Amino acid sequence: MAAPQLLKPSGWQLVTGLVAILVIVPLSVLLLAWLDPAWDIWQHLQQTMLSLLLLNSLKLLLGVGTGTLLLGVSLAWLTGACDFPGRKLFSWALLLPLAMPTYVLAFVFLGLFDFSGPVQTFLRGWLGSGFRLPDIRSAWGVILVMSLALYPYVYLLARNAFRTQGKRGLEAAEILGCSPLRGFFRVVFPMARPWIAGGMTLVLMETMADFGAVSIFNYDTFTTAIYKAWFGFFSLPAAAQLSSVLVLLVFVFIIAEQRVKSRMRYTQSRLTVRAERIVLHGWPRYLACCYALAVLLIAFLLPTLQLFAWTLDIFREEFDQRYLQLLGHSLGLGVAAALLISTVALLLAYAGRRHRDRLTGFLVRIATLGYALPGTVLAVGIFIPLAGLDNMLIDLSRAQFGIEMPPLLQGTIVIMLLAYMIRFMAAGFKPIDSAMHRVTGNIDEASRLMGLRGPKLLFRVHLPMLRGGIFTALTLTFVDVMKEMPITLMTRPFGWDTLAVKIFELTSEGEWERAALPALTLLLTGLIPIILLMRGAEK
């Protein structure tokens, strides 16, 4: 009797498995780092700052979570369900802070609101020399900055939910005897909870992963501790062990969020693109306009104007060959990483279309898990195995051939590109996968009847139909890589700087004005996906 043959995976499944392994390896390396604990450094951390790291991280999560929830939900309700002067303008303009990297907004706020900054100087001249605002270099300062930078995640998703409700939710609550305020919290808010929860998940993930803003404020969290362990204590094992703690916190949060979601059940009797709005009258309509304008002014317009003013002052000094080199490095990395990520994302999406089994679906989810991982964590997790591979090849060449081979991977952009691919695969995969789902199965069947199969089907039929999704993936990943700071800072070749790295170096020295030109460049680059989002919302 013949032995049963093992099922052979297809080439598409092998590609998916390989990408999933690239995500699993750095996580495994971080967890295995506990086999050789750096007890001396851990003892130092425990005696000096471990409790502070936990407390600061918790305060940051609670503060930013509360701030973005209040800002995002209130603005989403006003622009999505109400009508007041300027609503159409604010509905898209309130997304503009998404284009501002958190670390850029952080150093602009320090330059504006510090004791010697223009705001406090003006107020002292107006209100007297004894006037002084609360110190911006504090926990509340970094919470304010990150809340203003991240609230659009909640705003964007919640607005879509409130826009379909209109005033029907409040009318239903009034029929049940609820006041407008009570009706909002008892009926309207719960109906929008899935969208709000989705936005809050993104906010809290970004908060845990942030390195630039907290380092500019000298606010110690796990991300700054990982950087200090590597480049301050020169201990990769300690950095890996700190990274593993942060990874565990991230996964605990993901599991908790998934469990909460699984208990929610929502139904909708009728799909409606938009419902009748609540028309505000009297002073509430002007109050709503002033509130939206104040948030937009503080979160985007004022910082942007300050960046332009600083740039005009130092443009002649800073715009030189060195700046063009930084710009070239950033653009080159962005283009290379965007092409790599979008290509691999296309292969993953096509593999998921060809094989709809559980294994392929699980591997695709693993391959796109990197977006939940902080850049500092990925930098450590990628560098350790590749450095080990380099050392193994060097030892092998020395033992077998007597040749002293230089490192092949360390000090190259290969580590950077791999870390970028893992970190931003979800950003490239989602638009391509969404576009792939719009290609019906009938098209595949008709193409196969014409003799098109495998790669020919992908390149001659699917690829032209996926142009919109691929363009979106290229744009989003390009901008994400341009703005990425910790991965670039921790894995770049020696002396190979980018705009983000230059901002970090200048702000570390308090050189706010000199950091304005590269920051303004990143801001203008970040406006690209916002324009795409606004175009998509108008369709």
Buried b (16+ CB within 10 A) or exposed e, 51-62: eebeebbebbbe
Measured distance CA(170)–CA(233) in Å, rounded: 58
- For every residue of 445-471, DSSP letters joined together read HHHHHTT--HHHHIIIIIHHHTHHHHH
Measured CA to CA, the distance from residue 250 to residue 27 in angstroms comes to 12
Alpha-carbon distance of 313 to 315, in angstroms, equals: 6
- Name the phi and psi angles at 466, rounded to 5: -105, 10
Quick one: pLDDT at residue 537? 53
Contact 288, 82 (CB under 8 A): yes
Mean pLDDT within 231-259: 77
Mean pLDDT calculated for residue range 253-280: 61
Largest alpha-carbon pair distance within the chain?
98
Specify the CATH number of the domain 47-114+140-263+274-308: 1.10.3720.10
Q: pLDDT by residue (tens digit) across 126-158?
A: 887 777 888 888 899 999 999 999 999 889 888
> Angle, to 10 degrees, between the axis of helix 39-48 and the axis of helix 236-262?
70
Q: What is the rounded distance in angstroms from the CA atom of residue 242 to the CA atom of residue 95?
A: 34
Q: How many CA atoms lie within 13 A of 422 on its CB side?
A: 29
Which of 161-170, 213-222, 296-305, 509-518 has the lowest average pLDDT? 161-170
For residue 316, what are the contacts with CB-CB under 8 A and spacing of at least 6? Answer: none
Q: Would you say the CATH fold of 319-508 matches that of 47-114+140-263+274-308?
A: yes
Q: Summarize pLDDT for 498-523 with one digit per residue, the tens.
A: 999 999 988 888 888 889 999 999 99
Q: By percentage, how much of the chain surpasses pLDDT 90?
A: 20
Place of tokens 């009508």: 83
Q: Could you state, in order of their start, the residue ranges of all structural domains in the chain?
A: 47-114+140-263+274-308, 319-508
Query: Which residue type is seen at 394?
Result: I
Helix (H) or strand (E) holding 439: none
pLDDT tens digits, 41-91: 777 777 777 788 889 989 999 999 999 999 999 999 888 878 888 888 998
- Coil, helix or strand at residue 279: strand
Question: How many CB atoms within 10 Å of residue 64?
Answer: 27
**In CATH, what is the architecture of 319-508?**
Orthogonal Bundle (1.10)
Comparing CA positions, the residue from 532, 407, 395, 409 lying closest to residue 477 is 532
Is residue 4 pLDDT above 50, yes or no? no
In one letter, which amino acid is 153? Y
pTM, full prediction = 0.82
Enter the tokens of residue 55: 């407390």
Cβ-based neighbour number of residue 1 at 10 Å: 3
> What backbone torsions phi and psi does residue 412 show, to the nearest 5 degrees?
-125, 170
Per DSSP, the residues of 55-90 read HHHHHHHHHHHHHHHHHHHHHHHHHHHEE-TTHHHH
